[in-house]
Chain A
Amino acid sequence: MALDLDEIAAALALGDADAFAWWLARAEPALRRSLASFATHIDVESILQESLLRVWQVAARYQPDGKPNGLLRLAMRIAHNLAIDAVRRDRTGVRDFDDSDDANTPSIEPVEPDPLLRQAVERCHAELPDRPRAALEARVASGGASPDRALAEALGMRLNTFLQNVTRARQLLAACLERRGIRLDEVWR
């Protein structure tokens, strides 16, 4: 059965931040994918975060329209509009971008986390050497609140060393997952 994230609309109407966290966990991958065609024109991460903040601002007033995943569709419209605005603000970045292109129309497919995939990631994560694991965990623990330079200092690493360790963690995780039949460059698509 298809996942309908609007099942928590009533909780969101009450300003329930835990319900929003539940929605975020399932909506973020689809929202990020929907911005893929903008990746060379705008910094997708910044547009994604700003979009999610705006979704929270309107979530309490959101009324489901009877079709599944209405809030996710609204979020995609918000994100798409912010992305288009950002491209237009930076005219030097427009180049061959065509915002009427069908390729820019997002698909709506929220995902429920897969426990088997999660288990594989946990096992691969446990196999990481100390320093790459420490660098990756510092990123996760900071929740995007601190720049890499601050995270590196806290770990007693130079920025370059910290970034090399994050890259190494990512590469080792990808290789470990691939040995288990999971391709990291495919799972999020």
Chain B
Amino acid sequence: MTADERARLVEQTASAWRPRDRDGRVRAHPAWYDLDDTGRREAFEAAAGIRWIEASLDREGLSSTARAVLVRIGRDR
């Protein structure tokens, strides 16, 4: 795997989008499976940092993780 490919996998894993299974349960991002331990740790830290930024920019202090949950429970669009 090249450094660019690895960086792309980390960035995708750091997003809040996640697939769901037939029962509606949240599943792991497909890119996460292709990362080694270092990449997974890097993706975790990138996600934590970017969620903090998202929450800081949001009028309610909500990150995209929180928004994803609020969409699922029907509060947001």
Contact = CB atoms under 8 A, between A and B. Distances in A.
A144 B53 contact: no
Contacts of A47: 26
A144 B71 contact: yes
Contact of B70 (A24, A36, A160): A24
Interface of B: 4, 7-8, 11-18, 25-29, 32, 37, 40-41, 43-58, 60-76
B64 A46 contact: no
B2 to A, nearest CB: 12
Interface residues of A, number: 54
Query: Which 9 A-B residue pairings sit nearest by Cβ, starting from the closest?
Result: A144-B68, A143-B67, A144-B16, A43-B28, A17-B75, A39-B44, A25-B61, A121-B56, A40-B37
Contact of A21 (B17, B40, B50, B66): B66
Nearest to A186: B49
A75 B66 CA distance: 14
21 contacts: A22-B60, A25-B62, A32-B65, A36-B44, A49-B69, A52-B69, A56-B73, A121-B53, A121-B57, A142-B17, A142-B64, A143-B67, A143-B70, A144-B16, A144-B18, A145-B68, A160-B8, A163-B8, A170-B49, A187-B49, A188-B51
Contacts of A143: 16, 64, 67-68, 70-71, 76
B52 A188 contact: yes
Contact of B67 (A39, A144, A170): A144
B55 A113 contact: yes
Contact of B61 (A52, A113, A122): A113
Contact of B18 (A49, A139, A174): A49
A46 B70 contact: no
A40 B32 CA distance: 10
B32 A43 contact: yes
